[in-house]
Amino acid sequence: MDYFLTESQTEIRDLARRIANEKVKPVVAKHDRESSFPWDIVEEFRNAGLFSVYIPEEFGGLGGGIMELVIVTEELSRICGGISLAVAGTALGTFPILLSGNDDQRARFLPDLVAGKSLAAFCLTEPAAGSDAGNIQTKAVRKGDKYILNGTKHFITNASVAKVYTVVASTNPDRGTRGASAFIVEDGTPGLRFGKVEDKMGIRASKTCEVIFEDCEVPVENRLGREGEGFKVAMRTLDRSRPGVAAQAVGIAQGAFDLAAEYASKREQFGKSIGSFQGVQFMLADMATQVEAARALVYATARMIDSGAKKIAKESAMCKVYAGDTAMKVSTDAVQIFGGYGYMRDYPIEKFMRDAKITQIYEGTNQIQRTVIGRHILKETASKIK
């Protein structure tokens, strides 16, 4: 299918696809089994400039946008959803600086992020603040020209391997979401340490662990935006990063489908390939249709954001919901097509099913996304009635 990519976008897609097939594929099983971070592959991403595809030229990037990030994330995720997060997770941690940073902050931090010399992480989630993102307990108290941070963030992608952490903390607990502020915390800052490393079901090549602040001193010049704008910074970030999760889901779904279609063509039962049976053909037909529909929605949303549209929360939530559900459905059906072998680690298909599940959960569960979509629909309907 023609996705009407520009010449530059096609080149980026082909580059990411080649790296995924030639460099990522041979080490996927090893990193998944060992739950090890793929520094060897990160170097390949750096050399290829994949960390810069969505960064404007004025900051040293290739001048692309969300669409370019979506393309890269999808291609890498077709081979490994976990390894793709080295790029996508860094983009999530970089967006607050890109969107809300001042000239000095961008000049200080973006060059190394663009070059892939530094990875980034976004620290919002806490034990008591998952879906209830406004219930953050991490505190930031200003003392002179510094803020003192205390608290714990958990389930943080790229934690312990990143050098730059964008953190949302409460500066005025009495004001709820309006009392949160955002900060840039550099690795090596006294009082910053890392706790439990999560042993995950899927995306095991991505590092996920606790980020702990104990009297962590952060300069005032590292605050993003004004005090009290932290929740706004976080929401602007997530509205632009959710298509990345959706692209990860599309890539996982496509990778699972490709393996299932190949297996159905080769596996024989009752003297002929299982792909010749109508029941399997119907499964493959539905899987292919769902993947294409998800991709179309993700690409449309990415282009909408890149066009400068202001109201993007509903569409961002929609593509995340649909793509995440598609990844889970398609990967589950792919395992079914493999039959008993699909349940065994002798074949790579079971990993796609494990990796798919997280796309329904992180950066806002699909249940929360449906709430967001529903609220926007009712608000838009009410404005029309008036």
CB 170 within 8 A of CB 140: yes
For 307-365, where are the alpha helices, taking DSSP H only?
A: 313-338, 349-357
Active-site position among 43, 126, 363, 380:
363
Burial of residue 358, with CB atoms counted within 10 A of its CB: 0-12 exposed, 13-18 middle, 19 or more buried? buried
Say how many CA atoms lie within 13 Å of 135 toward its Cβ: 7
Could you give the angle at the alpha carbon of 88 between the alpha carbons of 10 and 329, nearest 5°? 85
Token pair, residue 4, equals 């009407």
- The answer to whether 363 is a known catalytic residue is yes
How many CB atoms are closer than 10 A to CB 365? 16
Phi-psi label, residue 318: left if phi above 0, alpha if psi -120 to 50, beta otherwise:
alpha
Structure-token match 């003392």, residue found: 143
Residue 9 near residue 53 (C-beta atoms within 8 A): no
Tokens 């298909």, located at residue: 349
Tokens of 386: 């008036």
DSSP secondary-structure letter at 198?
P
Residue type, 360: Q
DSSP 3-state of 215: strand
Q: What is the set of active-site residues? A: 363
